[in-house]
Structure 1
Amino acid sequence: MSRPSKAIWKVLSGAPGGESAVQRHLRCYRTGRGHAPVAGPEPASVREITSWIMAHSGHLRGEDADKLHRLRERDPELHRFTGHVRKFAAMVTGRRGDHPERWITDAEQDSLAPLAGFARNLHRDFGVVCNGLSLTHGSSAVEGNINRLKTLKHQIFGRAGLDLLRKRVLLVR
């Protein structure tokens, strides 16, 4: 049996009976004579909590909704953040271009620095944000063509010149 580090003994130095009492107590767990403490439930991962926040509140399973509710009760910043995220998601999915100014103002005035920074960036491009939320047409076709061109370019990068790229772009349609 290896001896625990000095840091552990510093933490346990206030135990009555000293080092030998702690060793006796731990030895019974190693030999199976004692009952090891029951581990609590495993905490939720960041990914799980993020998915709970991003999900529509009506689409969460009851268990997950309860866990998120308990987390929001314990952490007021998480509670405010979740509220902002859900309002933003409703605005985006509902394509309501008349609501971003109120959301941006609320988010900028909140003490959550990353959220306030995101809101400032939206405020800077306010016209684009309003158009993106209210207009039915978008730039997805252009973005698709740009993505296709970049894919072709990466496929032949370092193997051919501009002439082959030009032919691939014109022939592949």
Structure 2
Amino acid sequence: MPIEFLKKLLEENPLIKAVREISLEFRQLMKTKQGDQLQDWCNKALDSGVEALKGFVRGVKQDFKAIFQAFTSEWSNGQVEGQVNRLKNIKRQMYGRASFELLRKRVILMGNPDFHQM
């Protein structure tokens, strides 16, 4: 999207501008792990009057403890999710073509760094 178009859109539509600012603020809180600011952000989003943001905040509040932990914890499940994604891709490639034993061998071989040098 050209920058000029975005600037014009934000100038002419205060609702879009508000949603963008609040969304970018949420992203920054996540990125910088500022969980202590999450409740203030929720209040700001609710005060915006934007129904979609209100719905999002309701979802956040339903699982606030878990989301707060995600914002503040140094731990990440990124490695696990990456491995699950890799396994699912291998499984999709082999769907209907091979047995579980062949899938098992392929997963084990692909996890071996020496396999890629062969």
- For the superposition of Structure 1 and Structure 2, which TM-score range results when normalised by the shorter chain? 0.7 to 0.9
Give the Cα–Cα distance (whole angstroms) in 2 for the partners of residues 172 and 93 of structure 1: 32
> In proportion to residue count, which structure has more helix?
2
Identity %: 30
Q: Deviation at 1:99? A: 0.9
Q: Taking structure 2 as the reference length, what is the TM-score of the superposition?
A: 0.78
Asked whether 1:104 is paired with 2:53, we answer no
Q: Deviation at 1:65? A: 7.0
Counterpart code for 1:83: E
Give the Cα–Cα distance (whole angstroms) in 1 for the partners of residues 9 and 103 of structure 2: 53
Question: In the alignment, is the contact (CA less than 8 A) between 1:108 and 1:120 conserved in 2?
Answer: no
Which of structures 1 and 2 has the bigger CA Rg?
A: 1
Counterpart code for 1:98: D
Give the Cα–Cα distance (whole angstroms) in 2 for the partners of residues 107 and 67 of structure 1: 22
Structure 2 unmatched runs, 5+ = 112-118
Q: Show the counterpart of 1:148.
A: 86
Q: Deviation at 1:128? A: 1.9
Give the Cα–Cα distance (whole angstroms) in 1 for the partners of residues 89 and 9 of structure 2: 43
Give the Cα–Cα distance (whole angstroms) in 2 for the partners of residues 133 and 116 of structure 1: 20
Q: Show the counterpart of 1:162.
A: 100
Matched position secondary structure for 2:105:
helix
Aligned length: 111
Question: In the alignment, is the contact (CA less than 8 A) between 1:88 and 1:103 conserved in 2?
Answer: yes
Give the Cα–Cα distance (whole angstroms) in 1 for the partners of residues 5 and 102 of structure 2: 58
Counterpart code for 1:92: M
Specify which structure has the bigger relative contact order, considering alpha-carbon pairs within 8 angstroms and separated by 6 or more residues: 2
Give the Cα–Cα distance (whole angstroms) in 2 for the partners of residues 103 and 65 of structure 1: 29
Give the Cα–Cα distance (whole angstroms) in 1 for the partners of residues 45 and 26 of structure 2: 10
Runs of 4+ aligned residues of structure 1 deviating over 6 Å after TM superposition are: none
